[in-house]
Amino acid sequence: AQKVTQAQTEISVVEKEDVTLDCVYETRDTTYYLFWYKQPPSGELVFLIRRNSFDEQNEISGRYSWNFQKSTSSFNFTITASQVVDSAVYFCALSEWKAGGTSYGKLTFGQGTILTVHP
Amino acid sequence: SQTIHQWPATLVQPVGSPLSLECTVEGTSNPNLYWYRQAAGRGLQLLFYSVGIGQISSEVPQNLSASRPQDRQFILSSKKLLLSDSGFYLCAWSRTGVPPTPQHFGDGTRLSIL
């Protein structure tokens, strides 16, 4: 069975601080996909990134960066120079994919990390 | 571009009443469709997913059912609501195929059962 653990329930930082959100996953599949989503106070989930299990290259998008380490089954998310608008709940998710099969794109979500950025 | 519409945004229902939440997707065809529930302060739980018209898979036993009468329409229903059905319900869609594509979510429905 798949499992995603986001051990940090809540994080509070002051604007301009860097913050890292941890994500640890468990799966028996050799091929899988990892996702991060942002849920602002309005409620909708916004897709941030997808990474497959064969691509361990770190990725940077503006103030956001992701560190994927297969050896530790972690896919951590860092926000550099945080802003008040970054305040949201952030979810890490895992999707299986079996070669020759159909995954239907089902996601297993972590419990989420509530990030509050104070001015 | 693709858009997903979900309604109503907020709903207050008495225990034992029926439920119908609707979700439609525009700008794509044959999407995968999903219903999730998010209890207060918790993560998202997948309730149902559908890969085609009339094809519904249930992930957890519960008081709810889902239907997909048209390609881009997904409906969540209940004949008799329970207090435990309260929560935030999210509909999502993704493109069909492998590898799994990102899911895109609607704005959600906040359901309160009295």
State the nearest Cα–Cα gap between B43 and chain A, in angstroms. Answer: 4
List, for residues B13-48, the tens digit of each pLDDT value. Answer: 999 999 999 999 999 999 999 999 998 777 899 999
**Phi and psi, residue A21, nearest 5°:** -105, 125
Q: Which residues of B touch A110 (CB under 8 A)?
A: 43
pLDDT of residue B98: 66
Is residue A71 helix, strand or coil?
Answer: helix
Return the structure tokens found at A77.
Answer: 């998310």
At A103 the pLDDT is: 59
Q: Does the beta carbon of B7 lie under 8 angstroms from any beta carbon of chain A?
A: no
A62 contacts: CB under 8 Å, gap ≥ 6: none
Q: Which of these, A109, A111, A98, lies nearest to A34 by C-alpha position?
A: A109
Q: In which residue ranges of chain A is pLDDT below 50? A: none
Q: How far is B77 from chain A (nearest CA, A)?
A: 21
Distance CA B51, CA B54 (A): 9
What pLDDT does B43 receive?
85
In this predicted structure, what is the pLDDT of residue A16?
Answer: 97
Tokens for A63?
């103030």
Which residues in chain A touch residue B107, judged by CB atoms under 8 angstroms apart?
42-44
* Closest CA in chain A for residue B4: A44
Q: What is the mean pLDDT of residues B88-104?
A: 86
Tell me: the pLDDT tens digits for B49-84? 998 999 999 888 788 999 999 999 999 999 999 999
Percent of chain B topping pLDDT 70? 98
Q: Do B43 and A107 touch (CB under 8 A)?
A: no
B105/A44 Cβ within 8 A: yes
Write down the pLDDT at residue A99. 57
